[in-house]
Amino acid sequence: MRPPTHILVVNGVKVRRPVFVLAAPHSGAELLGRALKRSPGFHVTMGRASVAHVIYAYARRPSIATTRGTGAVRVLRDALAECWQLTPGSCGQCPASCRDAGGVTGVGPCTAPGTVARFGDAGPDLLYSAPVLLQAFPDARFVQLIRDGRDVSADMLNDPACLAWFKPSMLSDDTEFPNAFLGVKSEEHRDRWKAMPTAGKCALRWRGAVRLAAELRQELPKEQLLTLRYEDLVAAPAETAEAVSAFLATRVSKVALYGGPTSPTGTWRTRLRPEDAALVEKVAREELTRLGYLP
């Protein structure tokens, strides 16, 4: 049962139908977040530390969000409310990627408080806290992005921030299973995960993310969840912006999608070593096939 609706007011504005972008790493969340940040009336944050700390705590120990009543909901809601505050130095607390996405050269704020009507967040790994976000904001809108797991793995292998999660110490004694964040089903697989090549760990993490995305598609009504493919986002940005605009009932910037940072699609063929590509396809074959990336 969802907790009673909590009316959150930020900068004198009631938070209604906030927008959250969900995706596996390197699947387009930053690009779509950039477009939302540059759209009229939106204030969207990306990767603020106060939110990230909560997100990763829930990702590694999902029971925190299910065994402590409304405490987990309140903590996440308060963290978001804090990062949505618009003050003279607020943007100085955001990572460089967020400031760049908003076109901010100083410490902010990135938008004028009087122009904000919608709030949102497109920070990394929000996907793992989607159930808590839904309890915190029952009227929230979610946009999730899916990308070929082989391209995702190729990008992850070149991203030190992603690789940092694959250290053996990340599966500590207090890690809970099943662990969707790392893609490990049970404690029995702990040693196998530690010994697995990094490409396989990338595939497991992608597999865990798309399985969560599939569960959300089953649980949320279509008026609350829109699923997009990264490949369409890159190939047809104008059409994608129109689809997102229709879903959110507000105009989303097309220009920002054209000018945002993208990673080529289908280049895993040249960026993954043959043995790594084979391992990724073996680990994630079921999901790659279900999503149409494998015949």
Higher pLDDT among residues 64 and 201, named by residue: 201
State whether the Cα torsion 48-51-53-55 is positive or negative.
negative
Helices (H) and strands (E) in the chain, counts: 15, 7
Where residue 1 falls among pLDDT bands split at 50, 70, 90? very low
Tokens of 7: 């009316």
pTM confidence score? 0.93
CATH of 1-147+221-262, one of 3.40.50, 1.10.1060, 3.30.1490, 1.10.10: 3.40.50
Tell the burial category of 198 from Cβ atoms under 10 Å away from its Cβ (0-12, 13-18, 19+). middle
Tokens of 139: 């009227």
Half-sphere exposure of 102 (CA within 13 A, CB side): 28
| C-beta separation of 230 from 210 below 8 A | no
For residue 6, the model assigns a pLDDT of: 67
Span(s) in the chain for CATH 3.40.50: 1-147+221-262
| C-beta separation of 157 from 200 below 8 A | no
pLDDT tens, 48-64? 999 999 999 888 888 88
